[in-house]
A and B are shown apart, each in its own frame.
Chain A
Amino acid sequence: MDLLKLLAMTGSAIVLIVVIELIRRGRLKEKYALLWLGAGAILLILSASRGLLEYISLAVGIYYPPSFLFLLAFLFLLLITLHFSVVISGLSEKNKKLAQELALLRQQMREHLDQNTKM
């Protein structure tokens, strides 16, 4: 087992362990963890099996197999940041709706209270 392989495997294993631990403690929702788990698993498998990595990278025309790992990691990061942008957009939309709803409710409540005190 060469050093690079050991490094790649340790790296992917750490990602998996940290993600699982975060889910276990309730700090990371499963919905957002799937991408991380999937990426960690794929990277772990590919770094463990040199044969599979070489086979796939040669098939797509990459002659230095470890750089295929980097490519994968990069694509994954791209995907997850896009995913985050979508999630954040949804959250800010909900946040806006909540703020508006709150303002409308407050106004209604104030009007009710004013009417009651007048009577």
Chain B
Amino acid sequence: MRVLIIIPAYNEEASLPGVIRDIREHFAPAIDILVVNDGSRDQTSRIAKNVGVRVLDLPFNLGIGGAMQAGFQYAAIHRYDIAVQFDGDGQHIASEIPALLQPIIDETVDMVIGSRFLTRGAYQSSACRSFGIWIFSFILSRILGMTVTDSTSGFRAANRDVVAFFSRMYPEDYPEPEALVLLHKAGFRMQEVPVSMRERTGGKSSITALRSVYYMTKVLLAILIDLIKKVR
């Protein structure tokens, strides 16, 4: 099994070395790491090259969707069996990766999502945000016909077929939840597994409590559009 860890990174020079060290301590030579530098203005690209991981340098900022898609394209070209999406900000924990890989190795599903919320009380979040997440999960679960607790989680693993699909078609605006809808439409099987995540070490979440309602409405609209979209 050849596994590629894809780390989309936009101005992550502070946290990136620690993230890569964390992964290497757990998997040393067995796992390849690809940093997709999404047009960072800091030293993200140089730092990644210095520690000897593969680096895709996008000529300008495409956003997380376009960056991840470039990573999937790399995984498809180099015929990896599994691609893992792993955040560059230190939120995700490398020792949780095997839990993500197992269902794909067993071939029970095509895509695995690491969820913070499957284990009760593991992750602290504001009341407002939890409520938003709950409504959102409810609607998305209805659409997908399966329970989804952490649709915005960027900690996930995809098998070869999903990698091929994503390298052709990957959403740009709110890629994490939207990708689930597209996969569902294309008939792929998905599963959530419980993982723990760290509180963010550097940077702030792009979603503040006040904006979350507005954000949710936009994501729901995007999902409705995905539902009527033609899947290639």
User: Quick check: is A85 within 8 A (CB to CB) of the other chain?
Assistant: no
- Residues of A within 8 A of B (CB-CB), count: 9
| Residue interface mask B44-76, A partner, CB < 8 A = 1 | 000000000011111110100010011001100
Which one of A14-22, A55-63, A102-110 contacts B?
Answer: A102-110
| Residue interface mask A44-80, B partner, CB < 8 A = 1 | 0000000000000000000000000000000000000
Minimum CB–CB distance for A101 against chain B, Å: 8
User: Quick check: is B77 within 8 A (CB to CB) of the other chain?
Assistant: yes
In contact, A99 and B69 (Cβ under 8 angstroms): no
In contact, B57 and A100 (Cβ under 8 angstroms): no
Complex CA gap A52/B70 in Å reads 57
User: Quick check: is A31 within 8 A (CB to CB) of the other chain?
Assistant: no
Minimum CB distance partner of B61 in chain A: A99
In contact, B54 and A107 (Cβ under 8 angstroms): yes
A residues less than 8 Å from B70 (CB atoms) = 99-100, 103-104
Interface members, chain A 86-113 (any B CB < 8 Å):
96, 99-100, 102-104, 106-107, 111
In contact, A107 and B55 (Cβ under 8 angstroms): yes
| Residue interface mask A26-37, B partner, CB < 8 A = 1 | 000000000000
A residues less than 8 Å from B54 (CB atoms) = 107, 111
A residues less than 8 Å from B56 (CB atoms) = 103-104, 106-107
Minimum CB–CB distance for A119 against chain B, Å: 18
| Residue interface mask B27-46, A partner, CB < 8 A = 1 | 00000000010000000000
B residues less than 8 Å from A100 (CB atoms) = 58, 62, 66, 69-70, 73
In contact, B60 and A99 (Cβ under 8 angstroms): yes
Q: A103-B57, A103-B58, A103-B59 are in contact. List 12 more A-B contacts (CB 8 A).
A: A96-B66, A96-B69, A96-B172, A99-B60, A99-B62, A99-B70, A100-B62, A102-B58, A104-B56, A104-B73, A104-B74, A107-B74
10 A–B contacts from the bound complex (CB under 8 Å): A96-B62, A99-B58, A99-B62, A99-B70, A100-B62, A103-B57, A103-B58, A103-B59, A103-B70, A104-B73
- Rank and list the top 6 A-B pairs by shortest CB-CB distance, nearest first: A100-B70, A103-B56, A103-B58, A96-B66, A99-B58, A107-B56
